[in-house]
Amino acid sequence: MTIPFARPRPAFPEPSGRPDVSSKLDLVQRPRRNRKAGWARELLRENTLTVADLIWPIFVMDGSEARTPVGSMPGVDRLTVDEAVREAARAAALGIPAIALFPYTDPELRTADGREALNRDNLVCRTLRAIKNEVPEIGLITDVALDPYTSHGHDGLLSSDGRILNDETVAVLVEQALVQADAGADIIAPSDMMDGRVGAIRRALDASGHLDAQILAYSAKYASAFYGPFRDAVGSSGCLKGDKLTYQMDPANGMEALREAALDIEEGADMLMVKPGLPYLDIVYRLKEAFGLPTFAYQVSGEYAMIEAAARNGWLDGEKAMMESLMAFKRAGADGILTYFAPRVAEKLARKG
Ligand SMILES: NCc1[nH]cc(CCC(=O)O)c1CC(=O)O
Ligand SMILES: [Mg+2]
């Protein structure tokens, strides 16, 4: 049998008498040679993680000069707009290329139709304008989906018999995307998983002059338990009725991710996203291999929470686990990673020089 990447193995000679314990193995290849010292490991390393690989998701809330911790995400705070501007400036100074914004909407403003998503003065729009004004060099990504704004916590509109209405939802998402682009979003990221939304958003952006607004399509977004802490952060865990299984993907499916991504590319996606991250590295790899489009992975809230929880319990080395998890995304072919660790990683990489 020939083994790829290895030389054919000669048949072992018949044992003759007692084994000679002092004898050396007859090996031509000794892969450990290439790991013998730090300089050799550096020289031969196949992948690198740089600050340019990082996208930082942040949570914004109403008010001023305040931060409130997210209980299930130790180390992560919701930020008022002025604090978000300060953090954006810090991120830009560290070399983080882009920030993704997620709003904690006042529960009073949540409605069945999620109309606050279309308010040109909503939290996301105010944050976009403030950061664009003060930190114009950083890229701004906004999430297109209704869950931060709906009273039922779903990403789309709900019919009276409890179904998520696809085409009706897409019409609202198009408006939401336009409102975000008008307020200064550079990258529009639909995370709702409705069919046809990428094409509809692309056409509307083009028709309104936003030819340069990029679309980062959450093409393969799975119905995942790892979003739990995020739903706390944006305040939708309390109100979410039921589950998202009729629009987010089944964790058992891989081929379906290829079909979803192919459709989004046909419809005009500039970049693809896989979400969650670490449990779905096979999907990252397959999408990158199949399409070669810029492909991102989202190390989601639950992944962050698991590493932080174990680290804070002293069960693992948090810094090392953080770096290893991010390198794994690069090895799988990701062009970048959305991660709540972004500023910590950026600081660590900067210290290394
Ligand atoms: N459209 C909502 C959205 N956008 C990003 C996340 C999760 C991100 C995370 O867990 O960090 C979710 C949650 C969900 O689909 O319920
Ligand atoms: Mg789709």
Active site residues: 221, 275
**13-17, 172-176, 242-246, 287-291: the lowest-pLDDT one:** 13-17
| Pair of tokens at residue 334 | 């990701």
Please give the single-letter amino acid code of residue 207: A
With vertex at residue 150, the alpha carbon angle to CA 340 and CA 222, rounded to the nearest 5 degrees, is 50
Question: Using CA positions, which residue lies closest to atom 4 of ligand 1?
Answer: 191
Which ligand is in closest contact with the Cα of 191? Answer: 1
Average pLDDT over residues 158-182: 97
pLDDT above 80: residue 353 = no
Question: What is the distance between the alpha carbons of residues 104 and 274, in angstroms, rounded to a whole number?
Answer: 23
Out of 110, 164, 188, 227, mutate this one to test ligand 1's pocket (max ligand atoms within 8 Å of CB): namely: 227
Residues 6+ apart with CB under 8 A from 33: 40
Long-range contacts formed by 104-107: CB under 8 A, 24+ apart:
104/59, 104/60, 104/61, 104/78, 104/148, 104/233, 104/234, 104/235, 105/148, 105/149, 105/234, 105/235, 106/62, 107/235, 107/239
Index of the ligand 1 atom closest to the CA of residue 148: 2
Percent of the chain with pLDDT over 70: 94
- Which amino acid is residue 230, in one-letter code? F
Average pLDDT rounded to a whole number, residues 188-202? 98
The one-letter amino acid at 199: G
Q: Mean pLDDT across the stretch 295-318?
A: 98
- E strand or H helix at 277: none
Distance between alpha carbon 139 and the CA centroid of its chain, in Å?
Answer: 15
At 5, the pLDDT band (50, 70, 90 cuts) reads confident
CA of 192, closest atom in ligand 1: 1
Taking a C-beta distance cutoff of 8 angstroms, is the pair 338, 304 a contact? no
Element (H, E) at 137: none
